[in-house]
Chain A
Amino acid sequence: MTVLELRDVHRVHGSGETAVHALRGITLAVEPGELVAVMGPSGSGKSTLLNLAGGLDRPSQGSVHVDGVDLSGLGRRALATVRRQRVGYVFQDLNLLASLTAAENVALPLELDGVAARKARALAASALSEVDLDGYASRFPDEMSGGQQQRVAIARALIGKRRLILADEPTGALDSQTGEAVLRLIRSKVDDGAAGVLVTHDARHAAWADRVVFLRDGVVVDTAGPLDQPDELLAPGGAR
């Protein structure tokens, strides 16, 4: 089943002459196992799109569906449940709670859903293990490197039954090797069956996606997918 679907989504901030059309009729579907990157200049609507996809904002027109559920029909409480149970966010500022350990940060969304603490911690430990952070469960965020903190954020984003990962410039200030490790991790989570949307201004990062959507002034102006014949690339001069 399609994990994320945006149907003719518009988002207008303000009204009258000062109204800003952040998105104008976006239609997008992301399937399980698919990573879609969204590129575009500042103000093109990238972050608005991500906020709408994650139920952090509501469209002015059109609808957003996560796992078949139309978010526009949900009240605040139901929406919060969908966000917590089905959607994982990885932001540039990681939003890890400094007073909680890595395992507690990862387990928090489960505990908010009423999962018993012991079980939540066990699931968190295995999620940390999946991102190669065995042995870091009781570290606090400030005892870890930027790349390790980012991996904690990814573990937290995908714990439980969540199948949609939304990432906004997830490699932030990381160096290029660590940034690549983070992208590989998101990629492998998606290859395991999650759906992902990655907002980035960096083409090298967007290239990890199956599809790259170009936004300008709130409209999709183009989409890039893989070449039919990758061999073209290896021909002399083909890589430009």
Chain B
Amino acid sequence: MSVRYGLLALLERGPMHGYQLRAAFEESTGGTWPLNIGQVYTTLSRLERDELVHAMPDGDDGHRDYEITDAGRAELAQWFATPVGRADRPRDELAIKLALALTTPGVDIQAVVQTQRTATVRSLQELTRLKPADARPDDLPWRLVLDAMIFQAEAEVRWLDHCEASLVRYTPPPDAATQPATESSWEVSR
């Protein structure tokens, strides 16, 4: 996702200026996605260019409020109606690292798995500590973001457990780690 939809969603509540938008964005995400004010204004000017928001005249306090346009509302509705594609997310460096660890000579893959597991569980501990002691209704947007991070970290640990269990049963093919076996067999069959 981009900051673009976040700002559109916030402007659906009513007109706001850049600093208000930044504060509202950080409040909704519990500070997990810090924005700098430059990002906010760059995004606003692009939204204005695309006629999704409209800049209002400067107020008495010198701040300029922005309001969402009908086109902006339609764009926002479309965003809420569209699932987030998994392919849109960045490649998983950890999965690639483990795949490479398996085929790179001299790498202790169990140690790689355990190092990652410890780090991820430590992150989980910290995330769990951020949970408010008493759940209040106005905490809910932030708690949902927090729970998303908790469940993702948990999923990573479960996946690491799965990798470890698979490794126990894994016997590397002869010389697989030192020699590109597929290429030589290709030579033979050719």
Residues of A within 8 A of B (CB): 39, 41, 201-204, 206-209, 212, 214, 221-227, 230, 233-234, 236, 238-240
Q: Mark B118-133, 1 if CB is under 8 A from A, else 0.
A: 1111111111111000
Bound CA span A206–B128, Å: 10
A235's nearest neighbour on chain B, judged by CB, is B34
Number of chain B residues close to chain A: CB under 8 A:
32
Verify if B152 is at the interface (C-beta below 8 Å from A).
yes
Report whether B114 and A222 are in contact in the complex, using a CB–CB cutoff of 8 Å. Answer: yes
Report whether A227 and B164 are in contact in the complex, using a CB–CB cutoff of 8 Å. Answer: no
Bound CA span A214–B121, Å: 10
A203, A209, A221: which contacts B153 (Cβ < 8 A)? A203
Bound CA span A238–B126, Å: 11
Bound CA span A221–B32, Å: 31
Bound CA span A234–B161, Å: 25
B149's nearest neighbour on chain A, judged by CB, is A239
Could you tell me the distance in whole angstroms from the C-beta of B24 to the nearest C-beta in chain A?
Answer: 18
Could you tell me the distance in whole angstroms from the C-beta of A227 to the nearest C-beta in chain B?
Answer: 6
Verify if B64 is at the interface (C-beta below 8 Å from A).
no
Bound CA span A206–B121, Å: 8
Q: Mark B121-151, 1 if CB is under 8 A from A, else 0.
A: 1111111111000000000000000000111
A204's nearest neighbour on chain B, judged by CB, is B154
Report whether A204 and B150 are in contact in the complex, using a CB–CB cutoff of 8 Å. Answer: yes
Contact flag A214-B114 (CB < 8 Å), given A239-B153, A240-B120 = yes
**A239 contacts across to B, CB distance below 8 A:** 32, 123, 127, 149, 152-153
Report whether B154 and A203 are in contact in the complex, using a CB–CB cutoff of 8 Å. Answer: yes
Verify if B33 is at the interface (C-beta below 8 Å from A).
yes
Contact flag A208-B128 (CB < 8 Å), given A226-B122, A240-B156 = yes
B1-60 residues with Cβ-Cβ distance < 8 A to A are: 31-34
**B128 contacts across to A, CB distance below 8 A:** 204, 207-208
Q: Which residue, of A223, A224, A239, has the highest number of chain B Cβ atoms within 10 A?
A: A239
Given A41-B161, A233-B127, 5 other A-B residues pairs in contact with their CB atoms under 8 A: A41-B165, A207-B121, A221-B114, A230-B126, A239-B152
